[in-house]
Amino acid sequence: MADVKGTPREVRKAAIASLFGSALEWYDFFLYGTAAALVFNSLFFPTFDPLVGTIAAFGTNAVGFLARPLGGIVFGHFGDRIGRKSMLVTTLVIMGVATCLIGLLPTYATIGAWAPVLLVALRIVQGIAVGGEWGGGVLIVSEHAPSHRRGFYSAWSQTGVGLGFVLSASAYALAQEVTTKESFLAWGWRVPFVVGILLTAVGLLIRLRIMETPAFRATESGSESGSESGSGAKKSAPPLLDVIRTHPKSILIAFGARVAETGASYLFLTFSLSYAAEVGVGKGVVLAALVVGMLFESFAMPMFGALSDRIGRRPVYIGGAIAVIVWAYPFFAMFDSRNPVLIFVAIFVAVVIGHGAMIGTQPAFFTELFASRVAYSGLALGHELASMIVGGFSPIIATALLAWADASWPVALFLVVMGAVTVFAVAAAPETNPVVRKDLKDLKDLKGPEEEPEEPEEPEEAEVKSRTV
């Protein structure tokens, strides 16, 4: 990526805007996953066996993930062509409206089969919005931040993701606490969805105040001042085709790096709720543990990002994936104990250390894999394909494995496999931290010439020639 940065004030404003905007948008998206685990099986699929109904509810949740690459492609294209900021405003509005409409949706008892049909349609809209959100939310910070602090500052965009889950889970826990079981199923579950539209308005005000990123402005000014910027300029390829042609390895690395991060996260955050019910643990205990764990993780993410600024992106990311592998079997064993303290420990270690190390390092790592002119499309493609294939289906696969074996060991093995895929993918990547890369180069110069890792393509002349406004 281009090594341009904003002023310290611009960096702080971008970090705050990304944090709050991401928190509100992911609050909306996570609400659905929580509701799918808690109530959607009985409200929208009441004719099914409870376990089958849960699989069906997770299936509608997965539909949102199927739509995420479409959102990434569409908003990534325009984000690379006309700017990051405008896409972030658009995705926030779309998400807020869709979430509010889910809260107003009639259930199966009222309109029959149309209820799950409309639910799926709104989930698709949510998926499109959040698919376009992630890359822009990351770039608005990472393209403002100086290279030696990029890991720390860009991790705050992921802190917004964590706080979004905390807000959604807390909203559901509060709704359950202040209503009876009958009232919660009748109307209490709707309140967190409808309130989301108010939070969207707050996020919109914040995002409208930020500046476009310096890297995108530099790309724009470079294309305008280039020799082909007149009316006879040759149109560049669409960013999606450009990134596939010039950065295929980076896309595969981003996809593989996401396997353990997204797959494990949705097992920890959604499947754990239904698994708790299977082993006789109250969902309130798990929700409380998840809220506490995600709250701590939200502020551990910038710490892991800062650590990646010092020692490199790869060691921190691989460390998180190894933690997921090591913790897979103990995680479910602690749930099987039905001991609330052990359940808190299981979730805390899983999300704060395992998931936190990966997601805290991810924004800077992924940004540095791609040239600025195609960064939005590259991030969206690698990130959202993994979300669709792995994140959306991991709770369904885990539930099916549990039903097949009537035991947790296949689910733990599933976690191990996902962790191994991520370790391999990140190990195959170059170290992208420019400061650490320079230190490694200086060390190699002392030892003698060695082959250096491949750098992400950032040819200045090609970028000037390929850009058109």
258 HSE (CA, 13 A, CB side): 24
pLDDT at residue 260, as a whole number: 95
Q: Is 280 left (phi over 0), alpha (psi -120 to 50) or beta?
A: left
Query: Please, which contacts does 144-148 make with residues 24 or more away whose CB atoms are closer than 8 Å?
Result: 144/5, 144/6, 144/10, 144/11, 144/14, 144/15, 144/213, 144/214, 145/5, 145/6, 145/11, 145/14, 145/15, 146/5, 146/11, 147/3, 147/5, 147/434, 147/435, 148/309, 148/435
pLDDT at residue 313, as a whole number: 95
pLDDT at residue 233, as a whole number: 37
Residue 469's pLDDT band (cuts 50, 70, 90)? very low
> In this predicted model, which residue has the larger pLDDT, 5 or 39?
39
Q: For the residues 51-80, what does the mean pLDDT come to?
A: 80
Contact 316, 257 (CB under 8 A): no
Residue 206's pLDDT band (cuts 50, 70, 90)? confident
pLDDT at residue 325, as a whole number: 97
Residue 51's pLDDT band (cuts 50, 70, 90)? low
Model confidence at 315: pLDDT above 90: yes
pLDDT at residue 227, as a whole number: 36
**Helices (H), ranges, 208-312:** 214-225, 239-246, 248-266, 272-278, 283-311
pLDDT at residue 439, as a whole number: 62
Q: At 78, which amino acid appears? A: F
pTM summary value: 0.80
Residue 348 burial (10 A CB sphere; 0-12, 13-18, 19+): middle
Residue 292 burial (10 A CB sphere; 0-12, 13-18, 19+): middle
Contact 203, 88 (CB under 8 A): no
Q: At 363, which amino acid appears? A: P
Cα 449 → chain centroid: 39
pLDDT at residue 232, as a whole number: 36
Q: 38-66 burial, b for 16+ CB within 10 Å, e for fewer?
A: bbbbbbbbeeeeebebbbbbbbbbbbbbb
pLDDT at residue 404, as a whole number: 92
Residue 106's pLDDT band (cuts 50, 70, 90)? very high
- The CA distance from 43 to 41, in Å, is 6
CA dihedral 181, 184, 185, 191 (to 10 degrees): -170
Residue 170's pLDDT band (cuts 50, 70, 90)? confident
When the pLDDT of each residue in the chain is averaged and rounded to a whole number, the result is 82
Contact 23, 367 (CB under 8 A): no
Q: For the residues 295-320, what does the mean pLDDT come to?
A: 95
Q: Which of 32-41, 155-164, 335-344 has the highest mean pLDDT?
A: 335-344
Model confidence at 445: pLDDT above 80: no
| CA distances from residue 260 to 70, 257, 351, 355, 359 in whole angstroms, order as listed | 22, 7, 12, 8, 10
pLDDT at residue 459, as a whole number: 43
Model confidence at 396: pLDDT above 90: no
User: What's the pLDDT tens digit per position in 207-266?
Assistant: 787 777 777 777 766 653 343 333 333 446 788 888 999 999 999 999 999 999 999 988
Residue 49's pLDDT band (cuts 50, 70, 90)? low
pLDDT at residue 5, as a whole number: 61
CA dihedral 182, 186, 187, 189 (to 10 degrees): 80
pLDDT at residue 47, as a whole number: 66
pLDDT at residue 450, as a whole number: 41
- The CA distance from 234 to 417, in Å, is 46
pLDDT at residue 419, as a whole number: 96
Contact 137, 145 (CB under 8 A): no
Least confident of 57-61, 182-186, 270-274, 441-445: 441-445
Residue 462's pLDDT band (cuts 50, 70, 90)? very low
Q: For the residues 394-408, what does the mean pLDDT come to?
A: 89
> In this predicted model, which residue has the larger pLDDT, 51 or 361?
361
pLDDT at residue 453, as a whole number: 43
Residue 441's pLDDT band (cuts 50, 70, 90)? low
Q: For the residues 126-133, what does the mean pLDDT come to?
A: 88
Q: For the residues 59-75, what does the mean pLDDT come to?
A: 83
CA geometry: angle at 381 spanning 103 and 296, to 5°? 60
Q: At 53, which amino acid appears? A: G
pLDDT at residue 320, as a whole number: 97
Least confident of 235-244, 351-360, 394-403: 235-244
User: What's the pLDDT tens digit per position in 373-388?
Assistant: 888 899 988 998 898 8
CA dihedral 199, 194, 85, 242 (to 10 degrees): 140
Question: Residue 89 is encoded by which pair of tokens?
Answer: 């405003």
pLDDT at residue 372, as a whole number: 84
Model confidence at 463: pLDDT above 50: no
Model confidence at 452: pLDDT above 70: no
